[in-house]
Amino acid sequence: MNLHEYQAKQILRSGNINTPRGMAATSADAAVSAAGELGGDAWVVKAQIHAGGRGKVGGVKLVKSLDEVRSLAGSLLGKVLVTKQNAPDGQPVNQVLVEETLPIARELYLSLLVDRETERVAIVASVAGGMEIEEVARATPDKILTETCDPLLGVQDFQCRALAFALELNGEAYKDFCRLLPALYRVFIANDLSLLEINPLVVTTDNRVLPLDCKMSVDDNALYRRKALAELRDDSQIDAKEAAAKMLGTNMSTYQSGGRHPSKLPRRRWWRHTRDGRAGLQDHPARSQRPGRADQYLRRHRALRRHRRRHHPGGEGSRRQGAGDRAAGRHQCRTGPQAAGRIRTGDPCSGQPHSCGKTSRGCSVMKKTINHRGTEAQSFSLGFSMPLCLCGENS
């Protein structure tokens, strides 16, 4: 569950973390009142949506008069803001955040997130703040710094010092950062967050370190014990179907076929041997039209087993293999090297049913092993095996 910027900064302030002073407003008049209460001669008005890239589309602007505050807030409120992250539908702007301005000297990047591979909280920092971290990682990966937190010890002092030195902080900024990082980790753990991103983390001209922007995501699986955070959900920022699913306590997933109808997707094919002995690549009889269905392989396995039971009741892999012989106390039929020394004698075949219940041509019990010299092999198997009846005819 994502939170708005003003909500995230309220949580930071509850964790004794300094943030720029600001107030949220739902109307142009409320925005003007907030600017007057903050004081000063310049303010920053930010549209509140669950997406980044607001500054590139006019969602974050610097204003220097109360009339500009009223005009900008009136133009943003009720508007659907489309950014790179929420295109093409966009998201509605229901609140704006009016903040004081800061004298910025440098912009850094800092985030805490759950690393699924190590199953620990990872800290990601970079000297390239104020821009999309994905582009920084792709263009200059050497500027990405990572530290992994021990689940018992949390953020340790040496990790704070290592990141502070790597970010080229000194003086009061160095001390502020070493105090800020453990406090952020405590907020992350105490609120069951899955992401805490500060972009940018600014260093002011008087050498202070403050989070200028903040993005938070709460783990949905922990909302049952975070009732106060669950009340901060803004369903207007998510899809209507997903919001309805959340109300029912379930999740919604959509299937993307890349613009193609499911009937036009590639079919699952397999090698199949027909009754006349021919083999070819054919469509699976129980295939699924949609890709990625795991049960299609189970259906194929079951179909093959049904085919073997129906047409080869005594064949390899069948549950009925040798069932009649075991019940009657006789041997179990096998082919190949194991058939040597197991040939059963009996009356010459005259079309009468054998112990397997079939005539001589369909008998799967009586086998004879033939070696490469054409003679019977009773105690060894050097050749191949083929089913023969005692009368010499193929069974």
- Residue among 17, 55, 196 nearest 45 (CA): 55
- Specify whether 276 is located in the same domain as 379: no
**Can you tell me the distance from the alpha carbon of 83 to that of 63, in angstroms, rounded to the nearest whole number?**
21
- Specify whether 196 is located in the same domain as 122: yes
Selected catalytic residue, list 6, 109, 174, 185: 109
- Specify whether 170 is located in the same domain as 71: no
Domain membership of residue 171 (yes or no) is: yes
**Number of independent structural domains in the chain:** 4
Which pLDDT score, from 0 to 100, does residue 393 have? Answer: 44
Domain membership of residue 128 (yes or no) is: yes
Q: Among residues 83, 100, 117, which one ends one of the domains?
A: 100
**Counting every residue, how long is the chain?**
395
**Can you tell me the distance from the alpha carbon of 309 to that of 325, in angstroms, rounded to the nearest whole number?**
17
SS3 content of the chain, % helix, strand, coil (to 5): 30, 20, 45
What is the pTM assigned to this prediction?
A: 0.63
Domain membership of residue 65 (yes or no) is: yes
The CATH number of residue 63's host domain is 3.30.1490.20
- Specify whether 86 is located in the same domain as 207: no
SS3 111: strand
Q: In this structure, how many other beta carbons lie within 10 angstroms of the beta carbon of residue 97?
A: 24
Domain membership of residue 316 (yes or no) is: no
| Residue-level pLDDT, tens digit, the chain, 395 residues | 899 999 999 999 999 999 999 999 999 999 999 999 999 899 999 999 998 888 888 899 999 999 999 999 999 999 999 988 887 888 999 999 999 999 999 999 999 999 988 899 999 999 988 777 888 888 888 889 999 999 999 999 999 999 999 999 999 999 999 999 999 999 999 999 999 999 999 999 999 999 999 999 999 889 889 999 999 998 888 877 777 777 776 666 655 545 555 455 455 555 555 556 555 555 555 444 444 555 555 666 777 778 777 777 665 544 544 444 444 444 444 444 444 444 443 434 444 444 544 444 433 334 444 444 444 444 433 334 444 444 444 44
- Specify whether 134 is located in the same domain as 234: yes
- Told to judge if 117 belongs to the known catalytic residues of this protein, a careful annotator would answer no
**Can you tell me the distance from the alpha carbon of 97 to that of 25, in angstroms, rounded to the nearest whole number?**
6
Q: Among residues 199, 224, 241, which one ends one of the domains?
A: 241
Domain membership of residue 52 (yes or no) is: yes
Q: In this structure, how many other beta carbons lie within 10 angstroms of the beta carbon of residue 263?
A: 7
Which pLDDT score, from 0 to 100, does residue 13 have? Answer: 95
Domain membership of residue 259 (yes or no) is: no
- Specify whether 93 is located in the same domain as 148: no
Look up tokens 């689940």; give the residue. 151
The residue range of the domain holding 274 is 266-311
- Told to judge if 107 belongs to the known catalytic residues of this protein, a careful annotator would answer no
- Residues 6 or more apart whose CB falls under 8 angstroms from that of 249 comprise none
